[in-house]
Amino acid sequence: MEIIPAIDIIEGKCVRLTEGDYSQKTIYNEHPLEVAKQFEGAGLRRLHLVDLDGAKAGAVKNWKVLETIASKTGMIIDFGGGIKKEEDVKVVFNSGARFATVGSIAVKNEEEFVKWLLQFGAEKFLLGADVKGEKIAVGGWLETTDIWIYDFIEKYRSHGISQLFCTDVSKDGKLEGPSIPLYKSIVEKFPELFFIASGGVSSMKDLDELNAIGCKGAIVGKAIYENRIQLQELKVFIS
């Protein structure tokens, strides 16, 4: 299982939200590059970079942070938050991201997203599915739809999506443990998917459980920043 540390960006700084609430914000570092270099120094190869300003504004904002980290580390970066137009996708790739992370657009404008998959290649996208009670949530988690997570995955598998991460919004940033039953169910239904668990990871035990149920990756954020998980402990997952 690949460990994918997360850096969430607001105003160019490394922060974490609780349950996606912008009023529940903690600033961990003024310089995200320093954080990325620590991750790389520990042997981690991937990075999940989230532009929270972009997610709120509906347009990519913190591409300079992406550009800096991409040019000064060798990490494989997925970048999301505010990717709403083809121009945003181009900015993300031109700034050094290996994958563009999308969520809301895949829910709200399927036609546009499918066009991107054909234009840039489905393998260039990491699809994010935020859920509340197995239903898809969008708009920075502010809005819950009636779309069932399994239908959502099935649809985009047919369009060539091979990597997907799922965040249970009720767990995110709370360090209460991930949604093991939900993720187990997804992995069992879609064994060929590069499935990445996200949200709620609080300990090495959580990571061991995610690994045991067959997750291909796990996004870890707050647990690292709050020293619940030490970077050196993650070496057991680095081959």
Residues 126, 128: Cα–Cα separation, whole Å:
6
Helix (H, G, I), strand (E, B) or coil at 30: coil
What would the two tokens of residue 25 be?
Answer: 């914000």
Residues 203, 102: Cα–Cα separation, whole Å:
27
Amino acid identity for residue 119 in this structure: Q
Q: Which DSSP state fits 176?
A: S
How many helices and strands in the chain, by DSSP H and E? 10, 12
Q: Which DSSP state fits 235?
A: G
Cβ atoms of residues 41 and 83 within 8 Å = no
Residues annotated as part of the active site? 8, 130
